[in-house]
Structure 1
Amino acid sequence: MSVLLLKLAGPLQSWGSSSRYVRRSTQKEPTKSAVIGLLASAQGRLRGDGIEDLLDLSFGVRIDQPGTLVNDFQTEHPSKGKPMPTTNRYYMSDAKYLVGLGADDALLTGLDDALRHPRWPLFLGRRSCPPEYPVSLGLQPGDSVIEVLEKHGWIAAPWYKRRHPGCQLEVVCDAGLGSDAEQGVPEGVISSQADIPLSFGASRKYAFRAVNRYRIPNPDGAAPDGGSRPGRDRPDFDHDPMSFF
């Protein structure tokens, strides 16, 4: 069995599962519906096309760099007519996620190729959120999504690793993924969220998905420098804002 790994990283990401009207919130990690939408876009599927083959993907996310929640307050004033209601849109800034997808090798190979040569532009939840490339890290050997997520190297930025050496990483996966007990999934917090897409058409519909949240040891262990705190003397701090005087 193989697992397809994705790296979802960029300046801004937004993963809404319950956004309504003037408040557009975000989950702190990618939703399954958004990742399925990203895969469908890469394959060039239209909004009315079927996505049944993607709904059965085993899905897990490892939060390697949590990022910061930021708020974008937006207004719209058309040249004619009444102004639109003001909206609050929330994003995760400077976050990095490792996503594992499990299915038969034929489907995963096709998805890997589509992500490397996407038919439509790819976005991290919203069109204002382009991803870092490459998105696909390729197929990885393993018996389950959980096994691969727990063993793959930490993908956080070097500066984040220096600030948080050896920190634990949170995993969010399908509850009952291949039977949690059989796969050795630690006991976590079980919750539900509406992020199983039944249709991406004009009338979007979602079903609820049970998710399991727990923490794992960092696969990279402690930082090789012993976990020095960031400061003016750190190796990558070479920017002096007063140097032009």
Structure 2
Amino acid sequence: MLNRRKTRPEPTKSGIVGLLAAAAGRSRHAALDDLAGLGLGIRIDQPGSLLRDYHIVSDYRGRPLLSAAVTAKGVQKPTSPAKQTHVTQRFYLQDAVFLAAVEGPRGLITTLESAVRQPAFPLALGRRSCVPAQPLVLGRRTGSLEDVLRAEPWQVGKAVRERWGRRNGNAAHVDLPATLDDPAGDEVRDDVPVSFAPTKRTFTTRRIRHTYLAAPTGLTPDPAQPPATGGHDPFALLGW
């Protein structure tokens, strides 16, 4: 039997909340109401590429594998029919750059900023070996999620920015895809964590809105090139 664990093109809310909870030193059984209640906006500055992680699981003692189901006493049930091998394919994003903005009470945001700068537990996205690169914190900002994500400079590396600039006349702005928490949004996602407890992982839903934001590139426009029209270039993030 093959088990596939897919990934989305941007971090989920459960991923961001999990990272913040780990930074703050919260256990898997800790309450998450305050973190789950934060507003979230994600901007995709660089989409990255897909990493396929192939696993084969078996019991070295030759015993049948246990199932995910548990008894009333919390003991895992054996697989039925008995299964000796379990194959999984897990997918992750690599070499991607995301800008995440969280919105909430000033005191909580200040506490979380300090926690991410000096985390209590190692931080990861997706799995423990997928550690996020620096910088993890750009600081606090004022304004709506959309305004903040629109104003923050493009976070890609120098080589990517310059290559894109040569093809686009060093345009002052680049259109980047973003998803924003929005009660009136047209998509529902089931990724708001209620509990991270290993035997009681539960989630609820939120509504999101998709958009494109014109972010500053940090480049000096080339006067020999016509001004950018502000239209969406679907190949911009690929450097074409």
Q: Please, what TM-score do these two structures have when normalized by structure 1? A: 0.73
Secondary structure in 2 aligned to 1:48? coil
The one-character-per-residue Cα deviations of 1:94-113 (angstroms, maximum 9, x if unpaired) are: 00000001112111100000
Partner of 1:31: 12
Contact 1:64/1:98, CA 8 A, preserved across alignment: yes
Mapping for residues 1-245 of structure 1, pairs under 5 Å: 22-81=3-62, 83-140=84-141, 142-165=142-165, 167-176=174-183, 190-201=186-197, 202-220=199-217
The one-character-per-residue Cα deviations of 1:80-105 (angstroms, maximum 9, x if unpaired) are: 22543111110111000000011121
The one-character-per-residue Cα deviations of 1:125-184 (angstroms, maximum 9, x if unpaired) are: 2112111133111212x22111110000110112222343454200111024xxx7xxxx
Amino acid at match of 1:151: A
Query: In 1, Cα distance between the equivalents of 2:48 and 2:148?
Result: 23
Amino acid at match of 2:200: S
Q: Which runs of 5+ in 1 are unaligned?
A: 1-20, 181-188, 228-245
Q: CA RMSD in A?
A: 2.2
Compared with structure 1, are the counterparts of its residues 94 and 168 closer, same or farther at alpha carbon in structure 2 (3 Å cutoff)?
same
Aligned pairs, how many? Answer: 195
Compared with structure 1, are the counterparts of its residues 144 and 190 closer, same or farther at alpha carbon in structure 2 (3 Å cutoff)?
same
Contact 1:161/1:223, CA 8 A, preserved across alignment: no
Contact 1:162/1:223, CA 8 A, preserved across alignment: no
Q: Please, what TM-score do these two structures have when normalized by structure 2? A: 0.74
Q: Which runs of 5+ in 2 are unaligned?
A: 65-83, 166-170, 226-240
Query: In 1, Cα distance between the equivalents of 2:24 and 2:95?
Result: 27
Secondary structure in 1 aligned to 2:178? strand
Compared with structure 1, are the counterparts of its residues 22 and 223 closer, same or farther at alpha carbon in structure 2 (3 Å cutoff)?
farther
Contact 1:62/1:169, CA 8 A, preserved across alignment: yes
Query: In 1, Cα distance between the equivalents of 2:125 and 2:159?
Result: 22
Amino acid at match of 1:154: W
Cα drift, residue 223 of structure 1: 6.7
Identical counterparts, % of pairs? 36
Query: In 2, Cα distance between the equivalents of 1:26 and 1:126?
Result: 12
| Larger Rg computed on CA atoms | 2
Cα drift, residue 224 of structure 1: 5.5
Cα drift, residue 190 of structure 1: 2.5
Cα drift, residue 38 of structure 1: 0.7
Contact 2:154/2:218, CA 8 A, preserved across alignment: no
Secondary structure in 2 aligned to 1:74? strand
Compared with structure 1, are the counterparts of its residues 223 and 29 closer, same or farther at alpha carbon in structure 2 (3 Å cutoff)?
farther
Structure 1 stretches of 4+ moved >6 Å: none
Q: Which moved more, 1:160-169 or 1:46-55?
A: 160-169
Secondary structure in 2 aligned to 1:203? coil
Query: In 1, Cα distance between the equivalents of 2:195 and 2:220?
Result: 44
